Amino acid sequence: MHNFLQHVSSYYTLSMDAIKALQACFTKVELYKNDLLLKEGQVCTHLYFIEKGSLRGFYNIDGKETTYWFGFENDFVTSFHSYITQTAAVENIQAMEHTVLWSVAKASLTQLFNEHHEIERLVRIAYERYYIKLEERFVNAQFKTAAQKYNELLQHNPHILNRVPLGYVAAYLGITQETLSRIRAKL
């Protein structure tokens, strides 16, 4: 729980009161390699925080598992579309190793928003940061070449390369594993 509270304070400084309320609503979840946190078709009812370990999100695009997202320590995780709209998820979320999460039900979080303006503020601020990250990924996907995308990753998220097989990384960048391999060979 310590990591979680520490990280949360990097978004917005909560009162002791709010911190206690938070603590009361989050429970620990543990996953092992290849366990699914969410399976497509399910409705995602929880928001998670990664205490330790790593996850990936992937679509099944005509039989292929296509990774589009990674989560590591101090990342929030959910199937955002499913969580917000409470409809069936189209993607899967899977542990890439032994992973420890803090979990909160959507109903609990909504209740926390009502009781503590500052918690809703914290989430509002978190949304802003996540939105900016997604914008960057969109721009990369739309306007950059394969090599440019790899170099961006090298500069801004090198930790991904240390913890994830290259097949996943390639899909994450929107290129094939073969192309990624050739790009890396030229350095």
Q: Which is nearer to a copy of itself, 132 or 187 (CB)?
A: 132
Residues that bind a copy of itself (CB under 8 A): 59, 61, 66, 68, 80-81, 84-85, 113, 117, 120-121, 123-124, 127-128, 130-132, 134-135, 137-139, 141-143, 174
Instruction: Give the shortest CB-170-to-DNA separation in angstroms.
Output: 8
Q: Is 184 in the site for DNA (CB under 7 A)?
A: yes
Q: Which is nearer to DNA, 119 or 171 (CB)?
A: 171
3-state secondary structure of 19: helix
Could you give the angle at the alpha carbon of 8 between the alpha carbons of 52 and 75, nearest 5°? 40
Interacting partner of 178 out of DNA, a copy of itself, none (Cβ under 5 to 8 A depending on kind): DNA
Of 16-24, 77-85, 102-110, 179-187, the window that binds DNA (rule: CB under 7 A) is 179-187
Q: What is the C-alpha to C-alpha distance for residues 156 and 184, in angstroms, rounded to an integer?
A: 16
Residue found under tokens 């998220």 = 157
Q: Is 37 in the site for DNA (CB under 7 A)?
A: no
Q: Is 146 in the site for DNA (CB under 7 A)?
A: yes
Cα radius of gyration (the chain):
18
Interacting partner of 27 out of DNA, a copy of itself, none (Cβ under 5 to 8 A depending on kind): none
Residue found under tokens 């699914």 = 36
| Beta carbons within 8 Å of 49's beta carbon, 6+ residues apart | 4, 7, 26, 74, 75, 76, 77, 101, 102, 103
Check residue 74 and give left, alpha or beta (phi > 0: left; psi -120 to 50: alpha): left
Rule CB under 7 A: which residues touch DNA? 145-147, 165-167, 174-182, 184-185
